Structure 1
Amino acid sequence: MNPENLQFPKKTLSPEQRERISMALSRKRPGVSLSLMHRVFQLSVTLVLLIGVGIFSLFFISGEKGEDARNGGSDYSLELPDGIVSERSGNTLIFKQGERTVGGAAPTTPEEKQSLESGPGIFEKKEINDLKYPAERILEHVKTMNATQTYHYFVQTDEKTWVRVYFHTPYLTEEQAAEAMRTFSID
């Protein structure tokens, strides 16, 4: 089949018809143009995405703060030996002897305890039964400029809440740490 042999009908427009079609195409239609609607759609989608990311960020940030509060939301206290003071920073206590940090207490998780237990330098792991709450003591050999050993007490205050209380030697002895832990309480 040869296209040159085919006869297609031809339509020719008069100059008046051409003018009418041209005027109809160039005439402004009432309403909003398609390009303007497209731009408005793009801006609205962008705005919705930005608001969504902002709300997600707020929930994420406040969610982490809320989780920290749940992990150590209760105030805890203990009596320290003479010459040692505690400074509170949120849910964390820092034990100081002059300018030197000699220990502290902070909310923790079982995973952090597990991580410490699997690290090098663990000398002893022992359950402590003479405290108000179930506890476990881990003796870690540190040998830094500030400490040679650290006594870590992991106290389980309820099903989900753990507190790690730690004391650095030689600033506090094992007896002083044990005596301070006997006074540990949740307010």
Structure 2
Amino acid sequence: MNPENLQFPKKTLSSEQREKISKALSKRRSGFSLAVIHRVFQLSVTMILLIGVGIFSLFFVNGEKGEDTRNGQLNYSIQLPDGIKTERNGDSLIFKQGEKTVGGAVPSTLEEKQSLESRPGIFERKVINELKYPSERILEHVKTMTATQTYHYYVQTDEKEWIRVYFHTPYITEKQAEDAMRTFSAE
């Protein structure tokens, strides 16, 4: 079958019809089309999600607890008796004698101090005035396999910040604990 032999009907347009179609095609619609509005909406939602993820990531990386300008890590310095080493565990220090934990220093709160004071086994509460920071010592009778008493020193480094430094006996005596606390500093 040869396409040249086929007879297709021909439609001819008048000059008026051609002009009308030409004007309709050249005439630009005013306002936004639905496709443009849809695209703007998609971009807006994407931007809002990206900003939200960015803000969440910032808080997640910087810490969820609202940490201070020290990058969330408190630095303590203390001179311990011979044979006792310190290990850092985040914001905490752990005092070790060989493999035994004989004390430590941890961030604390006033509520934690009050909770300790309300427990049974508290022998003594004493305000210590000879230290660099306002402090209170609490002697707790613990009766465990590794310790018989614990000296808790609650040190107030500023208006809102407390640090609990503790020593277990018999590994560290009262005198050794007092001497170590005279060298304690929080930075």
Which category of TM-score, normalised to the shorter sequence, fits these structures? 0.5 to 0.7
Residues 40 and 123 (structure 1), Cα distance of their counterparts in 2 relative to 1, 3 Å cut:
farther
Within-5 A mapping of 1:91-170:
91-170=91-170
Aligned partner of 1:66: which letter? Answer: E
SS of 2:106 mapped into structure 1: strand
Cα distance in structure 2, aligned partners of 1:182 and 1:169 = 18
1:59 aligns with 2:75: no
1:173 to partner: Cα distance: 1.6
Go from structure 1 to structure 2 and tell me whether the alpha carbon gap of 1:165 and 1:48 turns closer, same or farther (over 3 Å shift). Answer: same
Instruction: State percent identity of aligned pairs.
Output: 71
Kindly report the root-mean-square deviation, in angstroms, between the aligned alpha carbons of the 2 structures: 3.3
Unaligned stretches of 5+ residues in structure 2: 1-28
Does the 8 Å contact 1:72/1:107 carry over to 2? no
How far apart, CA to CA, are the structure 2 residues paired with 1:38 and 1:119?
65
Instruction: Report the Cα distance in structure 2 between the residues aligned to 1:68 and 1:145, rounded to whole angstroms.
Output: 40
Q: Give the Cα separation in 1 of the matches to 2:144 and 2:157.
A: 31
Displacement of 1:151: 0.8
Show CA shifts across 1:80-114 (max 9, x none): 11211112334322110001111011222222222
Q: What displacement does 1:170 show? A: 1.7
Which residue number corresponds to residue 16 of structure 2? none
TM-score w.r.t. length of structure 1 = 0.67
For 1:68 and 1:96, locate their aligned partners in 2 and report how far apart those are by CA, in whole Å: 29
CA distance in 1, matches of 2:170, 2:160: 32
Q: How many residues align?
A: 160
Conserved 8 A contact 1:72-1:162:
no
Supply the distance in 1 between the matched residues of 2:49 and 2:186 (Cα, whole angstroms). Answer: 44
Q: Is the 8 A contact 1:141 1:149 kept in 2?
A: yes
Q: TM-score, normalised by structure 2?
A: 0.67
Task: Quote the offset at 1:133 in angstroms.
Answer: 1.8
Q: d(CA) in 2 for partners of 1:98 and 1:139?
A: 24
CA contact (8 A) 1:154 1:164 kept: yes
The structure richer in helix per residue is 1
1:81 and 1:160, CA in 2 relative to 1: closer, same or farther beyond 3 A?
A: same
Inter-CA distance 68–111: structure 2 relative to 1 (3 Å threshold): farther
Question: CA, structure 1 residues 178+131, in 2 after alignment: closer, same or farther (shift >3 Å)?
Answer: same
Rounded to whole Å, the distance in 2 between the matches of 1:101 and 1:83 is 12
Could you tell which deviates more after superposition, 45-54 or 111-120?
Answer: 45-54
CA distance in 1, matches of 2:57, 2:119: 34
